[in-house]
Amino acid sequence: MTADQRPRGRVWLVGAGPGDPDLITVRGAAALREADAVVYDVLASPELLQLASPEAERFNVGKRGHEEITRSQSDINALLVRLAREGKKVVRLKGGDPFVFGRGGEEATACVEAGVAFEVIPGISSAIAALAYAGIPITDRRHSASFAVVTGHNDPTRVSKETRWCELATASDTLVVLMGMRNLESVVGQLLEGGCAASKPAAAVMNGTLPSQRVVVAPLAELVQKIRDAKLGAPCAVVVGDVVQLRDSLAWFEKRPLFGSRVLVTRPADQSGEMVSALRELGAEAVVVPMIRLAPPADLAELDAALGRLAGYDALLFTSANAVRFFAARAEEIGGSILKDAPPIACVGPITAEAARSAGFSVALVPSDRCDAGGLLEAVSKRWSPRGRHYLLPQAEAARPVLAEGLREGGARVDQLTVYRTLAAKVDADALRGQLRDHRLDAITFTSPSTAEHFAALLDEESRKAAADCTVAAIGPVTADALRRLGLAPDWVPDEPTVRALIEGLAVRIGREPAGDER
């Protein structure tokens, strides 16, 4: 293939926002899903990389202000051009906004000079978002009608020459300094010399928009020392202006019930999204360490045979959303029309029923009282008398026999069908035990007995004791019983076995007082 025959690639310069992955734009997320390659900075949330296809190439260029530069800017420009010339759709994922101290202009120019098509997808700059999450409006007609955003990332010996700090001291109502922690003492000195009042309200916001966000508020003349005392570091947005006074009444982010908490999520990575979102919504940091992974059975012959005679069953019984997904996925692989012959469907609870409907099933029965195998047994027995019936029960390899045995006792034939296996996930056990021993986890969540079993198997005596000091939450009674058998009695089991109920109850139990300023 000649160069002229290659498919034409393109580059998207995408702003990842200030840290919270929920702040990515709709257009930016769409570009990530479409990308063949992602070139990203360390300030971009790792969670955003999951939006890209597993097949997409990923290039960590490591830029973080003046630290951790693994590639020069010219190298990055050349990489973008090379990937695009190979016909790839390339996302250049940059913290904040590409054109706000992000060198996006230089990368766009490199594309123009190379004849590569590009598009700029703006992002939310930390100059605005970090302040907003700290309860500090960048403008407010009572205090500020103008603002300036400046980089403090310059050689300290030239800081007063390259940026006219003395003039900026009085040029706008609000001044925001990004990437300025290394040079902050020089910057503040120049602002004071330029006429900015020593008592001017000022603040520093570290890790803005993240659960680890910390805020220091002080008069400008005292700000540098207060930051040192609090041990704040980069990334940090510094703001100087009367709008800082509004933080006392407008701070909202730190008031979330789980703000600053770190919660271990043990469920499979591809199923953790709902829990991670629920935790983030309440201000917590989700630490995702999957204990298990799910896989189809090693031999699919039995599953394929059951799908082939689907119309011969009186009812199809699902006791988990995972069973639905694996059953429907295999049916789709060998011919989706098979599901048209499906008999009446009964599901153990609303989550499983939702998964079944999403897979195209029409759900005939969901227990109204108990969302477990016993509840489904009772509901099925009332709706369809078991005697003489023939049921298909797709389930996990090591599923409990309660439902099948109960139906057989009632005179039914039950074909138990393994549609997925639960396997141990690869876990850095030393790192996990270290987090427990160092008390860096506030709570641990479990959504199945297998997550509890694999977690317990990784512990040594010291980390087991530390785990008991955390708030332990189980999604339902079966998981709770497994934890008790393992010596990790749960502190919280919701009445309704849903992720939302699990996290909301957790918030009540470990909710903290709103964080105060580090003055």
Query: What amino acid occupies position 508?
Result: V
Please count the CA atoms within 13 angstroms of the CA of 2 that sit on its side-chain side: 2
Residues paired with residue 415 on neighbouring β-strands, in sequence order: 392
SS3 (DSSP) at 205: strand
247, burial (CB in 10 Å: exposed 0-12, middle 13-18, buried 19+): buried
- Composition of the chain by helix, strand, coil, percent to 5: 40, 20, 35
From the candidates 20, 36, 41, 97, give the one annotated as an active-site residue: 41
Task: Measure the CA dihedral 331/334/340/346, to 10°.
Answer: -20
Cβ neighbours for 380, distance < 8 A, ≥ 6 positions apart: 315, 317, 346, 365, 386, 391, 407
273, burial (CB in 10 Å: exposed 0-12, middle 13-18, buried 19+): middle
41 classed as catalytic: yes
Backbone angles phi, psi at 402, to 5 degrees: -55, -50
Between CA 282 and CA 261 the distance in angstroms is 10
Backbone angles phi, psi at 203, to 5 degrees: -150, 155
Which helix (H) or strand (E) segment holds residue 215: the answer is: strand 214-219
Between CA 84 and CA 97 the distance in angstroms is 21
Between CA 435 and CA 476 the distance in angstroms is 26
Backbone angles phi, psi at 224, to 5 degrees: -60, -45
CB 41 within 8 A of CB 63: yes
Backbone angles phi, psi at 341, to 5 degrees: -90, 10
Please list the alpha-helical segments (H only) found in 183-337.
184-193, 220-230, 247-250, 273-281, 301-308, 321-335
**Dihedral sign, Cα of residue 272, residue 273, residue 274, residue 277:** positive
Task: Please provide the size of the chain in residues.
Answer: 519
According to DSSP, residue 67 is labeled B
442 classed as catalytic: no
From the candidates 4, 22, 36, 63, give the one annotated as an active-site residue: 63
Cβ neighbours for 228, distance < 8 A, ≥ 6 positions apart: none
Residue positions annotated with a catalytic role: 41, 63
